[in-house]
A and B are shown apart, each in its own frame.
Chain A
Amino acid sequence: MAAVTPDQLHGHHHGPTGLMRWITTTNHKDIGTMYLVFALIMFFAGGVMALTIRAELFQPGLQVVQPEFFNQLTTMHGLVMVFGAIMPAFVGFANWQIPLMIGASDMAFARMNNWSFWLLPPAALLLVGSFLVPGGATAAGWTLYAPLSVQMGMGMDMAIFAVHIMGASSIMGAINIVVTILNMRAPGMTMMKMPLFVWTWLITAYLLIAVMPVLAGAVTMILTDRHFGTAFFNAAGGGDPVLFQHVFWFFGHPEVYIMILPAFGIVSQIIPTFARKPLFGYASMVYATASIAILSFVVWAHHMFTTGMPAATQLFFMYATMLIAVPTGVKVFNWVATMWKGSMTFETPMLFAVGFIFVFTMGGFTGLICAIAPIDIQVQDTYYVVAHFHYVLVAGSLFALFAGTYYWLPKWTGHMPSEKIGKWHFWCSIVFFNLAFFPMHFLGLAGMPRRIPDYGLQFADFNAIATIGAFGFGFSQLLFVLAIVKCARGGERAAARSWEAAEGLEWTVPSPAPHHTFEEAPLVR
């Protein structure tokens, strides 16, 4: 490469063009873009399902869909959002940003990177296509509890294979990220100098490697129970339906942190930039992330307090779950301390980051309330839990993804995103989000179960409000697409350091980032 100067490389691309460029690419930026576009498409697919659910729940009685299809929608909304939207979006961020942030020229295993992305579209086709097969998509809930999942039609088998493929993709992606971070950091970038986004992704990647095989095992056992005469989850054959829940949630709880830790990382990058002040308590942030990850392996049965486990087991899982509040609290305190005595401006990324802290913390509080086993037994499988996990997954993970998108769009496109559209997007999102999900706390406390297509008359008012909020939230997301498309097409030129006080290696390369960056490793002091 010595004969080629970086200037000559700028904007140049070697290799196939057109569609073949995207199919064969091994470039981390191309692959990151594909992950992000894929996630956005799946986000809207899952969103349409959510709005159909909310339309049915707008008033009591059955108007829009029948119960079987309603159950398919709730199930597929969960699977599509978790495995199709949130997880791939974070991997997209990892692909784009980790090499730029640690001064690496690309991901460690570039070809495997291509393969881990291209596994996703066929998996998504299997999943979404299952609506069209006889019997429709699986309607057993995204948790796929046996024996209900054993009753399902072939849509269930398609979902199982989709989960297998997406799991393989996640494991490869995670291995790639771990190896890249451990081996390809620029000289001088010690572990404790890594940007927090890199740290959170390193820990997330370990979680993925640990638990995706567990999920694969759980769904494989369902598959063999369905077709090959095994009885893992059938008492008549010596099995136990609750075994599935233990295995599933041993995956499922770390999965929750897989979807939130990188969000913590993104917010930890954005707050210092717009507060113009270094992140408060960097080391404690790292330790808090690691403790959350470790604790996530010993709390799974708090999803199962109503299965009827012994008092000692309930108490163990209750105490362990409550402990998670400590490192999570440390993170929130650190962000607030970072803002304290800063010199803040509120461009769109900062708005979403502050909105994230505010609304995510409400989800944290309801999480703490759910940790108390007797209270959890009351609210388990009610709309209270629906409210809780949407506060952490939408206002948490999704808002952080929005924040990160607006923050790094200048680096990706070379143009500043429109502040006007971004601010509209933020205010519409946060208002409609709360309108949609806050009333669900009341519904759950008052006794409305989740996953029901119809409900008693006393729940009618809050359901109507929630539906209005959900539609408002859904349509607000068109603003997000508009902001991205406008930014990709043009706009104010972005400087290399696109935000005044942004720190980190990614802001030392031009905007848009050239196809190849850091062919010679930068020196970090």
Chain B
Amino acid sequence: MAHKPKIALYWCSSCGGCEESVVDLAEDILAVAEAAEIVFWPVALDAKYDDVARLDDGAITATLINGAIRLDEHVSMARLLRKKSRLLFAHGSCAHLGGVVGLGNFFTNEEILNRVYCDVPTVNNPDRVLPRPETRQGTTVLKLTGLHDMVRSLHQVVDVDYTIPGCPPPPALVKEAVMMVLEDRLPPKGSIVADTRALCYTCPRKETRPEMLEVPSFKRVYEIEWDPEQCFLNQGVVCMGPVTRGGCMAQCIQANMPCRGCFGPVDNVRDQGAKSASLLASLMESTDEEQLKKIVETIPDPGGLFYRYSLASSIMKGRVRRRP
């Protein structure tokens, strides 16, 4: 029993979908539990932070961290788990790229807090009470962990060995990553446990893509009834397949939905959003400036759409700040 490899799972700023991807291993999770000891998994097991701190450095064989980094607590846990683990996996889009929570970088903390705690129609907060790092009540001082002024991916905070992309990652990839550790067949450090090429290579609809794609206007999925056999881009529906890493078994496409880009950029691409812009620009069927503007207007929120998963790890990382 003593030599069983130890595995830990932790979540930072995430929705819980990545935990779900582990639970979705179904019976396979028993095989994992058989071969390895899960020492820390706040969602499913009762273990305290101190239990982790008491472990020797490098005692955990592999740790999977999902979620983006936006609180002091996330940073300290990421650093602690890094110290205690031989291998660290960024698990899911948020840890990999910043994910959907990374879109918070388009706003200031003030805007986000006011929106969430005061201005949402279902919130009743007439005194505009916001969470603060420190609250005094009589003699007691209540403390909350600090909120960072930007969302970061795991890579931007600690050294990451491998990445399991996806929002959430398909259970098959999670299983592959865990088996890779258990069977000791590790790829080079920094590898992403997925394809190296774009999704289009494995897309079941790739045969229907015409030689020359030209789009007179972009359509959102509720605006048309699209052909379930045809290439999405050919029908004017924005599909991120050409600029997104494959390896997801084209699950969304098979469910008749276009790719949203959760697997992040392919190798050699730094900024998935900018590349998406480049892709869609090249498809626009016009060379007249006014006409092009009209086509661009059919994309209501280009920044949010192109950077849906990758804003925090993009070149700009978010909204610019004004110098004081």
Task: Answer whether A and B are interacting partners.
Answer: no
Q: Which residues of B come within 8 Å of A, CB atoms?
A: none
Q: Give residues in A with beta carbon < 8 Å to B.
A: none
